[in-house]
């Protein structure tokens, strides 16, 4: 046996890329690769990239430039680009950046081992197909689990074609994985110590997978089946679209004890005019009505969302409608972005809002969201919550975990509580964490 080779993966973008990075590492394990978090000792570096905004995509080129000294120090170092930038601009990257040996899209990374053999033979390899075969079928079955929480991709791709978004082009059409496979993967994770599973999909609540009974299962059906897995303590899912928030899923939020009371439901804008231009196919009132139904069954539900500011044609009144919606919802957390025109999307043809105006609006929105986040954190003080402890804290004797509402909580606790859910009383709130004591 030769010494193991080292693989370093840098992950950009969404949780789906985090999941894919883990699966790529698992695919390369049998090829003799061990994961390292130090790029300077790697034999293979993969950048798993994101194309969602211009800044994210541009970063790949600057990061590639930064790898040049590593290649000079180690001429055998191989460099690959994976993910959504690879899918969208793979051939161009290959042409522009001689450092790159390999380009692999999000739907073909099960072919990485074969591609690497080509690279090791001195060739370049590029594969950005959207093949018929299911990559998950061809990836190693056994998942590695080093933490008590894990991601599980249940659905990929998107058919919604929001006017600003590249995902339908980089990830392809919506595909749901069959129920049996997902339950198998989930049981395997739980057997390896995982206590919390977050179901992933670009439109996760649009899940419609082939069930073992021949029926098409909804996300709620899948959640109820996962609920029956002994040892699994918590279920989460992300990211959802308002139009797929079905009755059975809303009901599950009220009845399924393992389903955590936190929902990421992006709305993007509070203006109906802008929502229409974005091709979101729902109004602000419809979004708020869904929330009302959710809070009727689960009053403590913590909400998070995504917002785009400065979409082409956004007026001050449109923006104020967004601010109003945020005030009505009161978010526990929310992500807001300045609109970024993406090549090939319909909105890219339209005229941008002047940059200084968009920057100023983004600032106002983020100030409001931060204030709501502080209020949510402060409201936890004195309350009891359940915490799943995930890892050691900064101070000796301390563990860190997550509350039901996805807040980071640290508390003095014995190591035996790692991977366990324990009741904690919150005694102090900071912006990004809570301090608690075990009850
Ligand atoms: N599938 C999810 C979101 C995927 S992208 C959904 O439908 O909500 C994550 C977030 O990035 C989006 O919610 C949106 O707020 C933001 N985003 C996507 N395209 C963008 C663009 N062109 N400019 C700025 N933000 C964008
Ligand atoms: Fe993009 Fe819209 Fe699909 Fe979300 S629903 S991935 S924002 S096209
Ligand atoms: Fe980015 Fe691709 Fe995810 S564009 S947000 S990494 S699906």
Report which secondary-structure segment, H or E, holds 368: helix 355-378
CATH code assigned at 390 = 2.40.50.140
User: What's the pLDDT tens digit per position in 58-109?
Assistant: 899 999 999 999 999 999 999 999 999 999 999 999 999 999 999 999 999 9
137 pLDDT above the threshold of 90: no
Is residue 137 assigned to a domain? Answer: no
Q: Compute, in degrees rounded to 10, the torsion defined by CA atoms 47, 51, 57, 61.
A: 40
Residue nearest to atom 11 of ligand 1 (CA): 52
Residue 136 lies in a domain: no
* 158 labelled ligand-binding: yes
- 216 in the same domain as 183: yes
Q: Which of 329, 352, 378 is the last residue of a domain?
A: 378
From first CA to last CA, the distance across the chain in angstroms is 51
pTM for the complete prediction? Answer: 0.95
Would you say 165 is a known binding-site residue? Answer: yes
Q: Which of 8-22, 133-147, 327-341 has the lowest mean pLDDT?
A: 133-147
Is 256 among the annotated ligand-binding positions? no
pLDDT of 273 strictly over 70: yes
For residue 168, which of 160, 180, 176 has the smallest C-alpha distance?
160
Is the pLDDT at 57 greater than 90? The verdict is: no
- Residue 42, Cα to own-chain centre: how many angstroms? 26
**Stretch 266-286: mean pLDDT:** 98
- Average pLDDT, integer, range 368-386: 97
Q: How far is CA 252 from the centre of its chain?
A: 22
CB under 8 Å to 73, separation ≥6 — which residues? 40
User: How large is the average pLDDT for residues 422-438?
Assistant: 96
Residue finishing a domain among 65, 99, 127: 127
Q: Indicate the pLDDT class of residue 145, thresholds 50, 70 and 90.
A: low
**DSSP 8-state code for residue 51:** -
Residue 133 in domain:
no
Instruction: Please name the residue whose Cα sits nearest to atom 1 of ligand 1.
Output: 202
For the CA of 161, the nearest ligand: 2
Closest residue CA from atom 5 of ligand 2: 160
208-210 and 196-200 beta bridge pairing: unpaired
- Model confidence pLDDT, tens digit, residues 29-44: 999 999 999 999 999 9
State in Å: Cα 369 to ligand 2 middle: 22
Q: Is 243 exposed, middle or buried (0-12, 13-18, 19+ CB in 10 A)?
A: middle
Instruction: Indicate whether residue 171 lines ligand 1 (CB < 6 A).
Output: no
CB 240 within 8 A of CB 203: yes
User: Is residue 403 domain-shared with residue 283, that is, in the same domain?
Assistant: no
Q: In the predicted model, what is the mean pLDDT of residues 375-381? A: 97
CA distances 290 to 42, 114, 152, 321, Å, are: 48, 47, 26, 18
Q: Cα(342) to centroid of ligand 3, in Å? A: 13
By residue range, what is the domain housing residue 389?
384-438
- How many angstroms is it from 340 CA to the middle of ligand 1? 10
pLDDT of residue 416: 94
Q: Using 50, 70 and 90 to split pLDDT, how confident is the model at 140?
A: confident
Q: pLDDT for 301-356, tens place per residue?
A: 999 999 999 999 999 999 999 999 999 999 999 999 999 999 999 999 999 999 99
Q: 53 CA distance to ligand 3 centroid (A)? A: 9
| Count of structural domains, the chain | 3
205 lines ligand 2 (CB under 6 A): no
Tell me the C-alpha distance between 429 and 374, whole Å: 8
Ligand 3 neighbours, Cβ below 6 Å, are 13-14, 16-17, 50-52, 83-84, 166-167, 170-171
Inter-residue contact 16 to 153 (CB < 8 Å): yes
Ligand 1 contact, 239 CB (< 6 A): yes
Q: Cα(240)–Cα(202) distance, rounded to whole angstroms?
A: 7
Please work out whether the CB of residue 269 comes within 6 Å of at least one atom of ligand 2.
no
Q: Is residue 259, in this structure, part of any structural domain at all?
A: yes
Residues 109 and 197 in one domain: no
According to the model, what pLDDT value does residue 134 have? 82
Q: What is the average pLDDT across 116-135? A: 91
Q: Which pLDDT score is estimated for 183?
A: 97
Look over the chain and give the mean of its residue pLDDT values, rounded to a whole number: 95
Report the pLDDT value the prediction gives residue 1, as an integer from 0 to 100. 54
Average pLDDT over residues 158-170: 96
Q: What is the CATH number of the domain that holds 47?
A: 3.40.50.12160
For residues 184 and 216, membership in a common domain is answered with yes
What stretch of H or E contains 209? strand 208-210
Residue 371 has pLDDT above 90, yes or no: yes
Contact partners, residue 181, CB within 8 Å, separation at least 6: 136, 137
Residue 147, pLDDT score = 87
Q: Is the CB of 17 under 6 A from ligand 1?
A: no
Q: How many whole angstroms separate alpha carbon 254 and alpha carbon 239?
A: 19
Which stretch of 11-15, 63-67, 94-98, 132-136 has the lowest confidence by average pLDDT? 132-136
Tens digit of each residue's pLDDT (9 = 90 or more) over 172-222: 999 999 999 999 999 999 999 999 999 999 999 999 999 999 999 999 999
Ligand approaching nearest to the C-alpha of 266: 1
- Chosen domain end from 99, 127, 155: 127
- Ligand 2 contact via 268 beta carbon (within 6 Å): no
Structure tokens at 347: 């909105």
Q: Is residue 235 assigned to a domain?
A: yes
């Amino acid at each position: 046996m030769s010494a193991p080779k080292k693989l370093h993966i840098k992950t950009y973008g969404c949780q789906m890329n985090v999941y894919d990075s883990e699966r790529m590492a698992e695919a390369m394990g049998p090829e003799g690769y061990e994961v390292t978090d130090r790029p300077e000792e790697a034999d293979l570096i993969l950048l798993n990239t994101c194309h969602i905004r211009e800044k994210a995509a541009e970063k790949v080129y600057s990061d590639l430039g930064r790898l040049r000294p590593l290649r000079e120090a180690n001429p055998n170092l191989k460099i690959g680009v994976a993910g959504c930038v690879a899918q969208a601009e793979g051939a161009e990257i290959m042409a522009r950046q001689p450092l790159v040996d390999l380009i692999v899209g999000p739907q073909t990374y099960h072919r990485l081992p074969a591609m690497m053999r080509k690279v090791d033979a001195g060739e370049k390899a590029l594969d950005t197909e959207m093949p018929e075969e299911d990559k998950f079928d061809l990836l190693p079955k056994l998942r590695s689990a080093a933490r008590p929480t894990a991601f599980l991709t249940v659905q990929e791709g998107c058919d919604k074609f929001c006017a600003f978004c590249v995902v339908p082009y980089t990830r392809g059409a919506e595909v749901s994985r069959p129920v049996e496979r997902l339950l198998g993967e989930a049981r395997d994770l739980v057997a390896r110590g995982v206590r919390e599973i977050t179901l992933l999909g670009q439109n996760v609540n649009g899940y419609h997978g082939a069930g073992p009974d021949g029926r098409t299962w909804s996300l709620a059906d899948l959640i109820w089946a996962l609920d029956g897995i002994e040892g699994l303590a918590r279920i989460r899912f992300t990211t959802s679209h308002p139009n797929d928030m079905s009755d059975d899923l809303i009901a599950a939020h009220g009845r399924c004890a393992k389903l955590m009371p936190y929902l990421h439901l992006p709305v993007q804008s509070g203006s109906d005019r802008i929502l229409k231009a974005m091709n979101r196919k729902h109004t602000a009132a419809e979004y708020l009505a869904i929330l009302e139904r959710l809070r009727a069954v689960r009053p403590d539900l913590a909400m998070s969302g995504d917002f785009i500011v400065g979409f082409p044609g956004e007026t001050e009144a449109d923006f104020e409608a967004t601010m109003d919606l945020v005030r009505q919802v009161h978010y526990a957390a929310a992500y807001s972005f300045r609109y970024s025109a993406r090549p090939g999307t319909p909105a890219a043809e339209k005229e941008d809002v002047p940059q200084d105006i968009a920057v100023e609006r983004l600032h106002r929105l983020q100030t409001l969201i931060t204030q709501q986040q502080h209020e949510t954190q402060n409201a936890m003080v004195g309350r009891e919550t359940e915490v799943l402890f995930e890892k050691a804290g900064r101070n000796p004797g301390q563990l860190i975990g997550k509350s039901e509402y996805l807040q980071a909580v640290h508390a003095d606790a014995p190591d035996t509580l790692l991977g366990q859910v324990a009741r904690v009383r919150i005694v102090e709130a900071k912006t990004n964490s809570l301090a608690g004591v075990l009850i």
